Structures are given as C-alpha cells and as structure tokens.
Amino acid sequence: MQTNFFRQIAKLNLKGDLQMILRENTDNSFVLSVLLNNEQCGDEARKTIPPLNLRGTAEELDNGFFETVTTPLQTVSGLMVDMEAFMKQLEEAKKKSAMEKEKAEKMKKEKDAKDKKYKDALLKAEELEKEQKYKDAWTALPKASEFPEYAEIIQKKQDEYEKHFAPSLFSGDHSQT
C-alpha cells in the first residue's frame, strides 16, 4: 500500500514542527489533534494558538483531512512567520531608538559645551571692558566664525571696543579714551 500523505504535508510548505496526536474513542471514531509549533518565533503569543481538533471515523479523516487542515495550518504558519518578523523589526526599532536618543544626548552635550565656551569668552571680554582694556576685550571675544549664531552680537561688541582703541580715520572725532 502506497500513500502520499507526507508529500501532501510537504506541499503545505509549513514553517515549524507539525505535531499530531491521534486518540481512539470508544465508538470506533478518532480524535486527531493537530498543532503547528514554530520555535523560531520569539513571540510568546504563539503558545496561545490552540491545536486543531478533528473528530471522525478513520474513513472520514482520510477523506477530509487535507481539505480541513490546509487553510488553518497555512494561516497559523504565516502568522508565526509574521510574528517573528515583527519581533525582529521591534528589536531593530528599539536599537535605533536607543541610538537616536544617544545621538541626541551627545548633540545636546556638544551644544551645551559650545554655549559655555561662548558665554565664558563673552564674560571675560566684559570683565576686560570694565577695566578699560578694550584691545584685550576685543581679543577675548569669541570668534564669529566659531559661533555663527551669535555673529551679529560679536560684531557689535567688536565695533564698540574698536571705537576705544582704533578710532575711525574718516570720522570727525579723533580723540582716544
């Protein structure tokens, strides 16, 4: 006797382990429990998928087995593959999220350090201005090329200090303070 049962199973192209338990009832019928388990799927929800239970005589099971199990088993197989793909994408998203968070923190630290450098240089220039050391104050100012967002403020301060140590040759006021 030759059967094609396993060839039919292979045609289903299921991903995972197909487990079948056959139990005979007292009235010449059987209960067949069919469960597909995919250990590659990391989602624990796969364990909540119930087995497919079929009841019938041996002849009924022979005649209707593949018509009955094909769609549900292929659906479950696809679901577990999709669940695993989802879990991998979720893990990737978590990694990227952590990387983005780390990158944002690094950028914030760099910006804070740059702002501190600007403020320190500006304070130093203002201290020198109070001592009327305008050339030193001008030199202590932060460089506009390093702080383009503050270029206008820096330029105004430079112009203000220059009036004290380098008066314009073209203005009427030639007195130095």
What pLDDT score was predicted for residue 167?
66
What pLDDT score was predicted for residue 35?
93
What pLDDT score was predicted for residue 176?
47
**Higher-scoring residue by pLDDT: 169, 140:** 140
Helix (H) or strand (E) holding 19: strand 17-24
DSSP, res 147 = -
pLDDT tens digit sequence for 115-143: 899 899 889 988 988 888 888 888 888 88
Q: How many helices (H) and strands (E) does the chain have?
A: 4, 3
What distance in Å separates the CA atoms of residue 79 and residue 85, rounded to the nearest whole number?
Answer: 10
DSSP, res 41 = -
Its pTM stands at 0.50
pLDDT tens digit sequence for 34-87: 999 988 888 888 888 999 999 999 999 989 899 999 999 999 988 888 888 888
Where in the chain are the domains? Answer: 5-93, 111-165
Choice among 128-142, 143-157, 163-177 with the minimum mean pLDDT: 163-177
What pLDDT score was predicted for residue 53?
93
Q: What is the mean pLDDT of residues 21-26?
A: 91
Q: Largest alpha-carbon pair distance within the chain?
A: 122
Helix, strand, or coil here: 37? Answer: strand
What distance in Å separates the CA atoms of residue 30 and residue 55, rounded to the nearest whole number?
Answer: 6
Cα 132 to chain centroid distance, Å, stands at 55
What pLDDT score was predicted for residue 42?
82
What pLDDT score was predicted for residue 177?
45
Strand partners, 23: 31
DSSP, res 170 = T
Count CB-CB contacts under 10 A for residue 44.
Answer: 9
